[in-house]
Structure 1
Amino acid sequence: MSEIQAVLCGYYGKGNGGDEALLVSMLEMLPPNVKPLVLSADPRATSKSYGVRSYDRMNSGAVIRALRESQVLILGGGSLIQDATSLRNSIYYGGLLGLAQQFGLQTIALAQGIGPLNKPLTRWIAKRAFGNCTAVSVRDPASAALLEGWGISCQMAPDPVWSMAATPVPEIANISRPKIAVTLRSHPKLTTERLDVLTRALVDLQAATDSQILLVPFQLTTDLDLAQQIQAELTDNSQVVTLTDPKQLKGLFQGVDLAIGMRYHSLIMAAAEGCKCWAIGYDPKVSKLMTEIDIPGWELADIPTDAGAISRSWQQHLTTGTALSWASLQTISRKSLAHKDLLTATLGKIASSQKVAD
């Protein structure tokens, strides 16, 4: 089969564990005849971590060079085209898809979580960008319904991180006491008052359960200060765990008894490793996940003001709650491979047509 080069673009090189996990998943999906070229905010780190060529995502000359060298652009995965935070992401990724299509590249949007799209401009960008793609897959029913309403066909499957291999973390696995992992992130709705009540609830939870509290920043630039601030209020049976390898991040949850998380991919990783989960919804994607796999929790704006009530809810879930069954996990993991099947089939057709053209 003819060798082709594919540009991979997403929120890569920003130090976000979830997005790096998506990149690892994308790289694992590629057939042997496809050479990846990753657009990254930190191309040197990306090349070193994953053994791939990488160009600066904000260097227009480098981006154009990458497109001219390649036959395919793969957008994946995650909530890349949305306007919940700003218009910049939608303009960047929508513009990149449009530019690649103008250059004659086949474009594939993989494992997308589309929206929210509250503004007419972002809806227009999304409709145009996805409508001109060779193939599209999404990770949730709402994204599928949106595209189908626009007459754009797509494949729907769970997020690919569900099936990403995990690497055990022995120093965590060897802790004998109950383990509780906490993944919070900064957010305008995580006010000083809400952070204080969550911290007091964690102090109470630790005292009541004699647990080891693992504070896990998924993105050091936004999460580390929070983790350190909370850890300062806890006993010695706590630690801030900083991991940059996505597979280790997932492996950390092996043997963890309860994961309390804001981060979308922290909840997926924890659930995939058989951990009980409690969600704090700060974004529609987390709220959707809570509904899809029945994770208990609160919306960030609706967190109780009574630290004792929060702690008692966590204690009850730790004692009587259930994790996803092995059968459910196997089903979700198998279904998530549909993204790979779509990618393999599409790239196979592109390579075959490339060989004919040559």
Structure 2
Amino acid sequence: MNIVISGFYGLGNTGDEAILEAIIDNLRAELPNPDITVFSLSPEQTAKAHGVKSVYRGWRHDNKGKIRALREADLLISGGGGLLQDTYPTRFLFGPLPYYLLVVFLAKLCGTKVMFFSQGIGPVNTTWGKILMKVFANMADFITVRDAYSKQLLHELGVTKPETVVTADIVFAFHHKEDNACLESLPLRGDEQLVAISVRPWLDQRDYYGKIARALDQLIELEGITPVFVPMEGHHDVRASDRVVEQMNHRSACHILGPDFTPNQYLHFISRCRLTIGMRLHSLIFSALAGVPHIGLSYDPKVESLLKRSGMWDYSFRLEEIDVDQLVNNARFMLAERETVRAIVQNNAKQMRQEAMENIRLLKEKFFPQGEDRR
């Protein structure tokens, strides 16, 4: 069975690379010898990292390779992650939404079935984006989405032809391996109270950097924490982390991890922390997966949705509504009552792992019903 995977791969985003690793590992665990090709911006790197075939994802070259892969495929997996959205500039053929839907259109022209896999949909606000969704997303044969909001939005956009099932982000089915590379890169004594911090740039907003800085200064003074910034998207998040640290009085108590660790290495580091304060969706998913209490700073409905499912929304904030004193109080409560909060997170994460595995079960049922179970 030949499977092509299309997503935001080979661009250094930890969350998306974790999605790819989770998809590949679980396909190999559940299907007999799948032949996998990934569309990636760094095809050689992707092929080496995962032992798959890989084709350059952009339209600048190797379009014949993409078409050949789609013609030979039994299934195109579009996803997972937040691919279908127009937050970023969307023109006739420019932007993420036209790109991913054009790949779907090419797959259908090649006679290949299409599954939108564990996707988070939206926002889709432009007229052109809505037209593209109604025309091309309806070409999919089957859809799984990672939250109820995404299913509702698909229906509002007129995407009603494919059956759509709510599951969970496939990263909840990630195969976690012990790897202390992140910890070993830091000058730590070993008795620190580590708190993982994930920040990112977001549009033209800036004031949240100062609010996070003030909260971390108070937590260092009151609780003696050691904040460690986890850059989930390379140099973009390193710069955002620097902007927070620059505004802190206790900047010498902070560390910023390097931007080139693997998703599993970042996940394992977060699993060793007592708390996460994070913006990036997958920093919070990693925290839930590892049973680590977390406070989210939501810049997008997908983050709020995840926090509600993990049981941590009552402790979290929308990005534009951060209250520094309340953030400090919530963090102190979580540190003091960590085992109680941890039990809530673990229970909810267990349910989401089961739902994440539904993506694979449904894929097998819909597209490879004769495939043998390798277990």
TM-score > 0.5 by shorter chain: yes
Q: Aligned runs of 1:259-278 on 2, under 5 Å?
A: 259-278=276-295
Deviation, structure 1 residue 259? 0.4
Alpha-carbon displacement from aligned partner over 1:8-53 (angstroms, at most 9, x marks no partner): 1100011000000110111123223321111011112111211211
Distance 1:112 1:252 in 2: 26
Distance in 1 (alpha carbons) for counterparts of 2:316 and 2:265: 25
Secondary structure of 1:202's match? helix
The aligned residue for residue 145 of structure 2 is 138
- 1:100 Cα offset (Å): 0.8
1:8-19 equivalences under 5 Å are: 8-19=5-16
Say which SS state the counterpart of residue 277 (structure 2) adopts. strand
The 2-side partners of 1:189 and 1:235 are apart by 24
1:109 aligns with 2:108: no
Q: Provide, for residues 134-176 of structure 1, a one-character-per-residue CA deviation record: whole Å limited to 9, x for no partner.
A: 2211110012233456433122111111121223343639832
Q: Which residue does the alignment assign to 2:209?
A: 195
Normalised TM-score (structure 2): 0.85
Q: How many Å separate the matches in 1 of 2:256 and 2:64?
A: 40
Q: Kindly indicate whether the alpha-carbon contact (under 8 Å) linking 1:139 and 1:158 is maintained by their aligned counterparts in 2.
A: yes
Partner of 1:355 in structure 2? none
SS at match of 1:318: helix
Residue 258 (str. 1) matches residue 314 (str. 2): no
8 Å Cα contact 1:76-1:112 kept in structure 2: yes
Q: Which moved more, 1:291-300 or 1:341-350?
A: 341-350
Aligned-pair CA distance for 1:325? 4.5
Cα distance, 1:300 vs structure 2: 1.2
Deviation per residue, 1:283-308 (Å, 9 max, x gap): 1211222233332211111223xx45
Q: 3-state SS of the aligned residue for 1:154?
A: strand
State whether structure 2 residue 216 is matched by structure 1 residue 212: no
In the alignment, which of 171, 193, 210 is matched to residue 161 of structure 1?
Answer: 171
Contact 1:15-1:244 within 8 A present in 2 as well = no
CA 1:241–1:168 in structure 2 vs 1: closer, same or farther (change >3 Å)? farther
Q: Does the C-alpha gap of structure 1 residues 244 and 350 become closer, same or farther in structure 2, counting only changes over 3 Å? A: farther
1:340 Cα deviation from its structure 2 partner: 0.8
> What do the CA deviations read for 1:260-288 (whole angstroms, capped 9, x no partner)?
01001110110111111101111121122
Structure 2 segments unaligned to the other structure (5+ residues): none
Instruction: Give 3-state SS (helix, strand or coil) of 1:253's partner.
Output: helix
Match of 1:29 in 2: 26
Which residues of 2 match residues 38-49 of structure 1 at below 5 A?
38-49=38-49
- The letter of the residue matching 1:198 is I
Aligned to 1:356: none
Query: Which residue is equivalent to 1:94?
Result: 101
Q: State whether structure 2 residue 346 is matched by structure 1 residue 343.
A: no
> Which is worse superposed, 72-81 or 292-301?
292-301
Given that 2:144 and 2:164 are in contact with CA atoms closer than 8 Å, whether structure 1 keeps it comes out as yes
CA RMSD of aligned residues (A): 2.3
1:181 pairs with 2:196: yes
After superposition, residues 294-313 of structure 1 pair within 5 angstroms as 294-295=311-312, 296-304=315-323, 307-308=324-325, 310-313=327-330
TM-score, normalised to structure 1's length?
0.89
> Within 5 A, what are the aligned runs for 1:346-357?
346-349=366-369
The Cα offsets for residues 179-202 of structure 1, whole Å up to 9 and x where unpaired, read as 1000000112531x3312321221
Question: For the structure 1 residues 47 and 79, does the alpha-carbon distance in structure 2 shift closer, same or farther, using more than 3 Å as the test?
Answer: same
- CA distance, structure 2, for counterparts of residue 235 and residue 219 of structure 1: 22
Structure 1 unaligned blocks of 5 or more: 353-358
Aligned length: 346
